[in-house]
């Protein structure tokens, strides 16, 4: 059984073909710059040179056709014919309140996805375009949608409601949804497995820290709170996103400072976070370099970022009346020794003791707390594609 996992962005397609008999990734790739100059497909297969196709790609359908061609390519491909693809799993950002689990895509689901566009105007449209392109190219292959929001649907009302007029929720769906759900679900279940414990017996805080970042409080296997909100702009400080700020700042920017809605949107999503604070980079590695060279703004950016994550951990310990294990995942979470150390520094009062030697680790599942620590701390690499493939397999069986 082979499953193709597709993650469509506005001008990109990420893909993986996974053999579910052993969960081996047969090929993975990225198509970039769809619809703009310089379109390029890069496919990687373990043990082989990269396969690169540079050709104009007008739209996603064309790009996905090239992905299928690359997968069946006689010299560079990994399957003989498209018939070997048994199903396609699509990453979909927003499933609204409708979807708390992955679902087989049919006409009704497509309608619901369209209805969610107003909640995720940047993200859901390319996901829908990708699904339609795959349906046109593989009309008889079952497709599954896996939602970033689904895992967080177990949050209680008190966690997801905003204290604004109730009709904003009732009429317009304004509430906390949360994102990165596939990743939080995966690493929480992985850490339970690694610890040899039942997920249902654990209080877990998962810290997904990449370019975008979010934390989740997971009690007895269910998400009870998460740091991203109505959109992925909320929560902890990120690479280019502000995270939580006083909403009145937005009003001030619009009224007193005269910025347009588009400008404010771009400032908060693309020019803020550690990029905005440092003026140097959104990449945490560059900021660490800056900090080590004594750059004040890089240092400030990292301090603000780390403080925001630390406070969120504290909040979730309060929300769950304790924590058994904290998990770090995604680009920074899996790889940044100094950031993990700084985030956890000063939490000894709460029973969190990092082991510095164990913390010197990159991208592998590992316990990084001391044995004497009341709270375990782990690094667990995320694998959203594998979750999408597993969900897809589970649904089509
Ligand atoms: P995305 O949110 O785009 O999926 P990733 O999870 O791939 O992001 O994480 C990418 C980010 O992780 C980079 O922007 C970088 O800042 C950070 N990162 C990766 N490796 C390290 C490292 N060794 N130290 C600090 N940050 C890192």
pLDDT tens digits for range 184-203: 999 999 999 999 999 999 99
268 in the same domain as 210: yes
Query: Whole-angstrom Cα distance, residue 87 to residue 143?
Result: 6
Residue 366 and residue 300 share a domain: yes
315 belongs to a structural domain: yes
In a domain, 201, yes or no: yes
241 is in an annotated binding site: no
Q: Is residue 221 part of a domain?
A: yes
Q: For position 37, which CATH number holds?
A: 3.30.420.40
Annotated catalytic residue, options 49, 69, 148, 324: 148
Q: Is the pLDDT of residue 24 over 90?
A: yes
Are residues 114 and 246 both part of a single domain?
Answer: no
The string of pLDDT tens digits covering residues 46-66 is: 999 999 999 999 999 999 999
pLDDT at 122 (0 to 100): 85
Q: pLDDT of 248-265, one tens digit each?
A: 999 999 999 999 999 999
pLDDT in tens, 108-153: 999 999 999 999 888 899 999 999 999 999 999 999 999 999 999 9
| 210 annotated as a binding-site residue | yes
For residues 303 and 223, membership in a common domain is answered with: yes
Rg of the chain over all Cα atoms, to the nearest angstrom: 21
**Distances 298 to 76, 100, 280, 305, 309 between C-alpha atoms, Å:** 43, 39, 7, 11, 17
What is the mean pLDDT of the segment spanning 35-44? 96
Q: What percent of the chain has pLDDT over 90?
A: 98
208: confidence class by pLDDT, cuts 50, 70, 90: very high
User: Do 8 and 95 belong together in one domain?
Assistant: yes
* Overall domain count for the chain: 2
Closest listed residue to residue 177, CA positions, set 149, 219, 202: 149
Residues 223 and 78 in one domain: no
Q: Considering the domain boundaries, does residue 157 fall inside one?
A: no
- Whether residues 82 and 17 fall in one domain: yes
Q: With a 6 A CB cut-off, is 287 part of the ligand 1 pocket?
A: no
Pairing of strands 325-329, 222-226: unpaired
22 and 99 together in one domain: yes
Q: Compute the average pLDDT of residues 218-240.
A: 97
For residue range 83-102, list pLDDT tens digits in order.
999 999 999 999 999 999 99
284 is in an annotated binding site: yes
In a domain, 395, yes or no: no
Q: Are residues 213 and 325 in the same domain?
A: yes
Check residue 10 and give its pLDDT: 86
**236 and 366 housed in the same domain:** yes
Whether residues 260 and 360 share a domain: the answer is: yes
Shared domain for 222 and 124, answered yes or no, is no
Nearest atom in ligand 1 to 283's CA: 16
Token couple for 60: 């996603």
211 belongs to a structural domain:
yes
For ligand 1, whether the C-beta of 235 sits within 6 Å is: no
Substitution site in 91, 285, 340 for ligand 1 pocket (most atoms within 8 Å of beta carbon):
285
161 inside domain: no
Q: Which domain holds residue 370?
A: 197-379
The stretch 338-348 carries a mean pLDDT of: 97
Confidence bin at 288 (pLDDT 50/70/90): very high
Domain end call among 112, 129, 147 = 147
Q: Is 292 in the pocket of ligand 1 (CB under 6 A)?
A: no
Judged against a pLDDT cut of 90, whether residue 344 lies above it is answered with yes
């Amino acid at each position: 059984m082979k499953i193709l996992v597709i993650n469509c962005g506005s001008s990109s397609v990420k893909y993986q073909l996974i053999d579910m008999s052993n969960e081996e990734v047969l090929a993975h790739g990225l198509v970039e710059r769809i619809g703009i100059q310089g379109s390029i497909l890069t496919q990687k297969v373990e043990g082989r040179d990269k396969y690169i196709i540079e050709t104009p790609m007008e739209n996603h359908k064309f790009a996905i056709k090239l992905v299928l061609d690359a997968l069946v390519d006689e010299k560079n491909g990994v399957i003989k014919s498209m018939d070997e693809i048994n199903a396609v799993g699509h990453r979909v950002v927003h499933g609204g309140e409708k979807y708390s689990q992955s679902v087989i895509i049919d006409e009704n689901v497509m309608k619901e996805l369209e209805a969610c566009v107003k909640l995720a105007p940047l993200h859901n449209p390319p996901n829908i375009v990708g699904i339609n392109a795959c349906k046109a190219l593989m009309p008889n292959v079952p497709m599954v949608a896996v939602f970033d929001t689904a895992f967080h649907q177990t949050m209680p009302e008190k966690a997801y409601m905003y204290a604004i007029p109730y009709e904003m929720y009732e009429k317009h769906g304004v509430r906390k949804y949360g994102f990165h759900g596939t990743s939080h679900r995966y690493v929480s279940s992985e850490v339970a497995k690694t610890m040899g414990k039942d997920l249902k017996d654990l209080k877990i805080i998962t810290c997904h820290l990449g370019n975008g970042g979010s934390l989740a409080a997971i009690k007895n296997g269910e998400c009870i709170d998460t740091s991203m909100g109505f959109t992925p702009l909320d929560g902890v400080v990120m690479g280019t996103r502000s995270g939580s700020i006083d909403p009145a700042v937005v009003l001030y920017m619009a009224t007193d400072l005269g910025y347009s809605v588009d400008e404010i949107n771009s400032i908060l999503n693309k020019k803020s976070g550690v990029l905005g604070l440092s003026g140097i980079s959104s990449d945490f590695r560059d900021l660490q370099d800056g900090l080590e060279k004594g750059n004040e703004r890089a240092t400030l950016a990292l301090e603000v970022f780390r403080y925001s994550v630390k406070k969120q951990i504290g909040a979730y310990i309060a929300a769950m009346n304790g924590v058994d294990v904290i998990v770090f995942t995604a680009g920074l979470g899996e790889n940044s020794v100094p950031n993990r150390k700084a985030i956890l520094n000063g939490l000894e009062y709460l029973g969190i003791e990092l082991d510095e030697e164990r913390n010197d680790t990159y991208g592998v599942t590992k316990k990084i707390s001391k044995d004497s620590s009341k709270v375990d701390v782990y690094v667990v690499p995320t694998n959203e594609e594998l979750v999408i493939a597993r969900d897809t397999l589970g649904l089509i069986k």
